[in-house]
């Protein structure tokens, strides 16, 4: 089992349950691990045969920037759904953090795992070699 990952992808968005949080943009941070099989890409040295982390990051930036969730739980579930359905990822682990949201803590948030750890072939969009 191999992993393609994105660490500490920072995105500004509207998120939170309090009135003041509906009026400002806050930064969330995404750590994402996506199961894949890198062997064909390694053997061919060709982006078409792997999960393109830049394509995933671009999609998540566009989604999160335009979202207005109350809870990190709701945002995390939607991110997981996008990654699984649009990029053909069979299993992922996502940490979604709100840095500085609680005084005294570096960050707070959720960690979720979704799917099964079988290695699916990257979908057409996942390769995204034109990006």
Ligand X SMILES: Nc1nc2c(c(=O)[nH]1)N=C([C@H](O)[C@@H](O)CO)CN2
- Looking at residues 30 to 69 of the shown chain, list those that interact with ligand X (rule: CB under 6 A): none
Our finding on whether 72 is near ligand X (CB under 6 A) is: yes
Residue nearest to ligand X (CB): 16
Task: Tell me how far CA of residue 39 lies from CA of 45, 71, 122, in angstroms.
Answer: 10, 38, 12
98 classed as catalytic: yes
Q: How many CB atoms lie within 10 A of CB 64?
A: 23
Calculate helix-pair angle for 53-65, 72-87, nearest 10 degrees: 140
Q: Are strands 91-99 and 68-69 parallel, antiparallel or unpaired?
A: unpaired
Distance set, CA 105 to CA 19, 38, 99 (Å): 21, 36, 8
Q: Give the nearest distance from C-beta 105 to ligand X in angstroms.
A: 10
Binding test (CB under 6 A) with ligand X, winner from 1, 17, 43, 124: 17
The arrangement of strands across the sheet holding 26-36 comes to 68-69, 2-15, 26-36, 91-99, 107-115
User: 10, 54, 58, 98: which is the annotated catalytic residue?
Assistant: 98
Which CB, 17 or 124, lies closer to ligand X?
Answer: 17
- Going residue by residue from 88 to 107, which x/- string records binding to ligand X, judged by CB under 6 A? ----------x--xx-----
Closer residue to ligand X (CB): 33 or 77: 77
CB of 23 to ligand X, least distance (A): 13
Residues engaged in binding ligand X (CB under 6 A): 16-18, 21, 71-73, 98, 101-102
Catalytic residue ranges = 98
């Amino acid at each position: 089992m191999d992993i393609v990952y994105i660490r500490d992808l920072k995105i500004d968005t509207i998120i939170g349950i309090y009135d003041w949080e509906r009026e400002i943009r806050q930064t969330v941070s995404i750590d994402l691990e996506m199961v894949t099989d890198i062997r064909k890409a390694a053997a061919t040295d060709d982006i078409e045969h792997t999960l393109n982390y830049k394509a995933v990051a671009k999609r998540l930036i566009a989604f999160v920037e335009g979202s207005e969730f109350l809870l990190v739980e709701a945002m995390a579930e939607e991110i997981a759904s996008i990654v699984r359905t649009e990029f053909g990822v069979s299993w992922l682990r996502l940490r979604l953090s709100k840095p500085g949201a609680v005084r005294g803590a570096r960050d707070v948030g959720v960690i979720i795992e979704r799917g099964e750890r079988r290695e699916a072939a990257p979908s057409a969009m996942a390769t995204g070699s034109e990006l």
